[in-house]
C-alpha cells in the first residue's frame, strides 16, 4: 500500500471546526438508522453483476486514494454506499436512506481524518464486495452493519470530548 500523502493542515483545522458543531447525540441516532436501512437494502438487492462489483471496487479505490483528503474520502465512501444500495428495488427505502446518508456526510469527514479508520473502511468495503461477489447478501448485510459500527463510536467519543473541552 502506497504511503498516504501528508494531510493538509488547513483542511484538518476546518474539519475540526466543523466538528465543533456536530452533535454526538445526533450521530448516535443517525448511525444505527442507516446501518439498519442499508443492511435491508443489501438483503433486498438482486445479485450484483460484474459491472456493479466493478463500480463498488472503483469507489473503494477512490476511497483508498483519497487518504489525506477527508472531504474526498467521505464522498468516495458515500459513492460506495449509494452504489451498494442503488439496485435494491425499493424506492421508498432509498428515499428514507438518502437524507440520512446526507446528514451523516459531515460525520464521515471527521471519521476520514484518521488514516487508520479510512484504511479499516477500505478493508471492510472489500469484504462486503467479496461477499456480494459470492452471492451472499446475508453476509454482506452483516458486514455493512460492522462497517457502520466499527469506527463511529470513536468519532462519537471524539465529538463528546470536543464538547467538553470547548
Please indicate, yes or no, if residue 92 is contained in any of the structural domains. yes
pLDDT at 140 over 50: yes
Query: Which domain, by its residues, includes 90?
Result: 9-165
Please indicate, yes or no, if residue 90 is contained in any of the structural domains. yes
**What mean pLDDT do residues 114-129 have?**
96
CB distance 148 to 34 below 8 Å: yes
Domain count, the chain: 1
18-27 pLDDT per residue, tens: 545 789 989 9
Residue 162: band (very low, low, confident or very high) from pLDDT cuts 50, 70, 90:
confident
Check which CATH number belongs to the domain holding 114 and give it.
1.20.120.530
Please indicate, yes or no, if residue 112 is contained in any of the structural domains. yes
Please indicate, yes or no, if residue 107 is contained in any of the structural domains. yes
Please indicate, yes or no, if residue 2 is contained in any of the structural domains. no
Please indicate, yes or no, if residue 4 is contained in any of the structural domains. no
> Which DSSP string corresponds to 62-80?
HHHHTTT-HHHHHHHHHHH
Amino acid at each position: 500500500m502506497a504511503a498516504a500523502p501528508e494531510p493538509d493542515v488547513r483542511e484538518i483545522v476546518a474539519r475540526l471546526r466543523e466538528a465543533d458543531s456536530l452533535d454526538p447525540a445526533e450521530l448516535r441516532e443517525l448511525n444505527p438508522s442507516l446501518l439498519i436501512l442499508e443492511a435491508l437494502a443489501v438483503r433486498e438487492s438482486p445479485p450484483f453483476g460484474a459491472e456493479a462489483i466493478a463500480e463498488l471496487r472503483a469507489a473503494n479505490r477512490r476511497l483508498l486514494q483519497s487518504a489525506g483528503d477527508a472531504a474526498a474520502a467521505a464522498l468516495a465512501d458515500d459513492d460506495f454506499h449509494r452504489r451498494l444500495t442503488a439496485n435494491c428495488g425499493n424506492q421508498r427505502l432509498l428515499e428514507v436512506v438518502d437524507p440520512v446518508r446526507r446528514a451523516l456526510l459531515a460525520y464521515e469527514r471527521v471519521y476520514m481524518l484518521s488514516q487508520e479508520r479510512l484504511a479499516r473502511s477500505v478493508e471492510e468495503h472489500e469484504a462486503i464486495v467479496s461477499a456480494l461477489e459470492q452471492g451472499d447478501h446475508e453476509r454482506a448485510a452483516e458486514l455493512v452493519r460492522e462497517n457502520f459500527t466499527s469506527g463511529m463510536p470513536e468519532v462519537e467519543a471524539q465529538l463528546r470530548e470536543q464538547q467538553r473541552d470547548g
